[in-house]
Structure formats: structure tokens, C-alpha cells
Amino acid sequence: MPGMDGATLAQAIRADRTLQATRVVLLNSLSQRVDARRLEELGCAACLAKPVRQSELYDCLATVLAETDAARVARPRVAYRSRHALHELRRGGGRILLAEDNITNQLVAQGVLKNLGLSVDTVANGLEALQALTSLPYDLVLMDVQMPELDGLEATRRIRDPHSRVLNPHVPIIAMTANAMKGDREQCLAAGMNDYVSKPLVARTLAAALDKWLPPDAPRTTDELREAAAKPAVSAAEPKLPVFDKAGMLDRLMNNTDLARKIAAVFRQNMPQQIKALRGYLEAGDGPDAASQTHSIKGASANLGGEALRAVACAIEQSLEVGDLASAARRLAELEAQFDRLQEALQRELGGDDDQGGAGQPPEPCCRM
């Protein structure tokens, strides 16, 4: 700049005792090579090359403003950050917070994230997510929209509140929802979420979202993320819904058969309790809880690849959305029958799991009341 350039201004700010706490981000053109040691001496918090993309500027400001004064004093040698060094600081090993109440969906998401070389902690609702974010500086949150105690939308609003106790109110949040209705994405973005992925989670889709919102220099390279994102989708042109879409499940899990067996075992163990709970809500005339339980069954079935079971759950959910509990109750027998068929298919296609009862054990029929 004429009169006083940016470096001189940064030096003047640092020399002024009343302004020393001010964060300074230097912008320079790509043609100008900046000496990192000089910028560190000037006390610049980061350096970005022009032209600056909006997402880069946002990430830079979020990182610089989220860093505490104590961290800056304890880590003076990293006052200067190139674009990649800034990303490395933000990534910190790629720690993800997963907020999801359904155990099957948890396992699917955890498996995909670990396959991508990322560290993941899991909580079961929005309140637990808020508590976790006040304790650890996560790099990204995968947030289910429909959860008990506190749903994903309200949890996001509280995270974004500048008066909240979370360590980084600007942490990227990616919504996860089994709904694909028009307006869902807008609702998530309006709550303060950064992006939106639909369930069942697909590895290539989630990888693309992570590649967008997490920096490129991580323990696993973005080449691997892009390779997963570019992987062709499994064809869904069959006119009849399969009982078990094994190819689709393995595609979501990046062909991790061991993880697929573990998820299937947990699903078979957990689903009878979910169906039993749904029956209880319907018999009690509790429409909201019945709808929430059906949504959980639908999401778990979709992630597993139980397409026929998912379709029945979807039909029950649609009945509950219009308050028709009688129609929903009439479909319970069909739901149970499809679960029994799915159990048999899982045993046949994947076998048993030693951790969940051993291979070769016959599947238990669905509990009917």
C-alpha cells in the first residue's frame, strides 16, 4: 500500500502496547514471495495469497479468532502460517465429532471416517455435542438433524451463539439427515450449518464434503478423498427393492467387509428392541415418539442396505406424518417380516460375527408382542 505497507503497519501494531493483542492477517499477491521468519517477527497470525477465496478467508478468520491468547503466547514460533501451515494447525490430526443417536448409523459413519484416516468421537444427542465442543477443539462436526434431548438444528444454533461456551463457535458443521425433502438443505444452512449430506451415508459423498470443509494437508491425503469421491455409484436401476443391497453397503464402507459384518451384527441385535419400542408407542397412541422411532429404523436400514425394510419404515413414517396411527400399526407385521428376511440375508451374505455371538449362529426372529 502507498505510504505505509502491510508489513510496516503490522510492525507498528505490535509496537503499540494498546494494540498488541490485535490479530493481523497479511494478504500478499502470488507473485510476491514472503519471508516466513520476517512475518513471524512482525507477529502476523496468518498470511493468505491473493486472490483469496471466500472459504479460505472464512477458515482463516475462524482459526485466528478462535485461538486463545494463552495459546498464542505458548506457541510464538507458529505466529506465521502459510496457507498449508494454517490448514495443518486447524486439522490437528483431523478430529471429528459425530453426533448421531442410532448405533447402526454411528458404526457406518465411524467406519467411513476411520477409513479416511480421521479420528472420530461420538455423542448421542445435541446436548452431548455441546458439552464435547466445550472440552476439545474439534475440526469438524457431523451432526444428525433428528436426535433426542436436543436436535441438530437447535444444537447448531447454540454452537453458533457468540456467547456459547464452545471453544470454536465457527467449527464447520455438516448436517446428516435421512430426509431428502425440498427445503431441508435451506433449513440446515439457516440454522448455521455449513453443508448437508443425506443418509444413508455414501463414502464418496462424505469424502467430498470433508474435502471441501477440512484442509487438504492431513494424515491421509486429499488424493485419497478425491479418489473415493470419484468412485462410481452402484447402479440402483432394479425395479424390485432388494432385501439386502450388499454391493451398496460395501460401497458406502469402501469395501470394508469386516466393518460390514460388525455393523450387521449390531443391527441384528439392536433392531428387535427398536421395533418393540415402535409397537409400544403405537399402542399408547404416541405419534411423535412413534415417528421418531420409525425415522431411526428407516435410517439404520438404509445405511445397512436393507432396502425392503427401509421402504416399509418409510411408508409407516408417511402415515405418522399425517397422524394416521392405525395405518402405521397395520404395517408393523410387514415391518417385522422384512426384518426377519433381512436377518436371513445378512447371515447368508456376511455370516456371523464372533464379537456378537459367533459365526454360524441362526438368526433370531423379530420379537413380536
| Averaged pLDDT, 28-40 | 62
Does 28 map to a domain?
yes
d(CA 221, CA 256): 19
| Residue 146 clears pLDDT 80, i.e. is over it | yes
Residue 151's pLDDT is 93
User: What is the CB-side half-sphere exposure of residue 213 using CA atoms within 13 A?
Assistant: 23
| Residue 74 clears pLDDT 80, i.e. is over it | no
Pair 31, 105 in one domain:
no
| Averaged pLDDT, 94-99 | 88
Pair 80, 106 in one domain:
no
Count CB neighbours of 99 within 10 A: 31
Domain extent at residue 22: 6-90
Looking at per-residue confidence, does 349 or 185 come out higher? 349
Residue 64's pLDDT is 78
Is the Cβ–Cβ distance between 131 and 108 less than 8 Å?
A: no
| Residue 70 clears pLDDT 70, i.e. is over it | no
Pair 221, 250 in one domain:
no
Q: What is the pLDDT of residues 249-265, one digit of tens each?
A: 888 777 888 889 999 99
Pair 83, 100 in one domain:
no
Pair 68, 102 in one domain:
no
d(CA 347, CA 358): 11
Does 367 map to a domain?
no
Residue pointed to by grid coordinates 439392536: 270
The model's pTM:
0.58
| Averaged pLDDT, 114-136 | 88
Pair 85, 99 in one domain:
no
Does 346 map to a domain?
yes
DSSP 187-245: HHHHHT-SEEEESSP-HHHHHHHHHHHS-S-SSS-HHHHHHHHHSPPPP---SS--S--
| Residue 156 pLDDT class (50, 70, 90 cuts) | very high
| Element (DSSP H or E) covering residue 172 | none
Q: What is the pLDDT of residues 269-314, one digit of tens each?
A: 999 999 999 999 999 999 999 998 998 899 899 889 999 999 999 9
Question: Domain boundary residue among 66, 90, 114?
Answer: 90
> Mean pLDDT in the chain?
78
Pair 118, 215 in one domain:
yes
Residue 192's pLDDT is 93
**Cell numbers describing residue 75:** 506457541
Question: Domain boundary residue among 202, 230, 258?
Answer: 230
Question: Domain boundary residue among 90, 105, 135?
Answer: 90
Q: What is the pLDDT of residues 201-211, one digit of tens each?
A: 877 788 878 87
Pair 111, 224 in one domain:
yes
Residue 65's pLDDT is 79
Number of domains composing the chain: 3
Pair 68, 148 in one domain:
no
Pair 252, 215 in one domain:
no
Pair 342, 309 in one domain:
yes
Does 176 map to a domain?
yes
Does 240 map to a domain?
no
- Which of 72-86, 116-130, 167-181 is modeled with the greatest confidence? 116-130
The CATH number assigned to the domain holding 341 equals 1.20.120
| Element (DSSP H or E) covering residue 254 | none
Residue 313's pLDDT is 93
The CATH number assigned to the domain holding 104 equals 3.40.50.2300
Pair 139, 223 in one domain:
yes
Does 35 map to a domain?
yes
d(CA 128, CA 114): 21
Q: What percent of the chain has pLDDT over 90?
A: 34
- Which of 128-142, 237-251, 345-359 is modeled with the greatest confidence? 128-142
What angle separates helix 307-321 from helix 287-304, to the nearest 10 degrees?
Answer: 160
Q: What is the pLDDT of residues 212-262, one digit of tens each?
A: 887 544 444 344 444 544 444 333 333 478 899 998 888 877 788 888 999
Residue 243's pLDDT is 93
DSSP 42-101: HT-SEEEEESPPHHHHHHHHHHHHHS-HHHHHH-GGGS---HHHHHHHHHTTTEEEEE--
What angle separates helix 152-160 from helix 184-191, to the nearest 10 degrees?
Answer: 30
